Amino acid sequence: MSARKASDTLMPWGGLIGGTLGAGLAHQLGADATFQDCTVGSPLIVAIGTIAGLALVGAGALASWRIYAADGETPARRTVALVSLMAAALFALAVVIPFLAALIIPRCWA
């Protein structure tokens, strides 16, 4: 399977793939910075994780949007792309809410 064919096959799933990776990255950076060693963690580390996570979520959503908005796509691929777009929105919410909590709740519950 060529890289072009693999890319075309995975495009509708972009929102799910990118969203999962982005939310996982943001969660791991935020959780490690906040709870693993709270003397090292700071809102800056959580902000960097949030930006990186949202970038991955956005890239996946863009891939799904390109399939959903294309005229020549089959209904099945458009449906998968739409579900992926909705999932990407939920993943973005899952990335932003812990970031807000990291800004509001004091580090190490000081």
Integer Cα distance of 51 and 29 in angstroms = 11
Please write the tens of the pLDDT for every residue from 84-99: 999 999 999 999 988 8
- Whole-prediction pTM value? 0.85
Q: What is the pLDDT of residue 31?
A: 73
Q: List the one residue out of 14, 25, 17 whose CA is nearest residue 62.
A: 14
Q: What is the pLDDT of residue 23?
A: 94
What is the token pair recorded at 32?
């490690």
If one compares 67 and 98, the residue with the highest pLDDT of the two is: 67
Q: What is the pLDDT of residue 107?
A: 66
CA 26 to chain CA centroid, Å, is: 8
Please write the tens of the pLDDT for every residue from 29-58: 877 776 666 666 677 888 888 999 999 999
What is the token pair recorded at 15?
């929102």
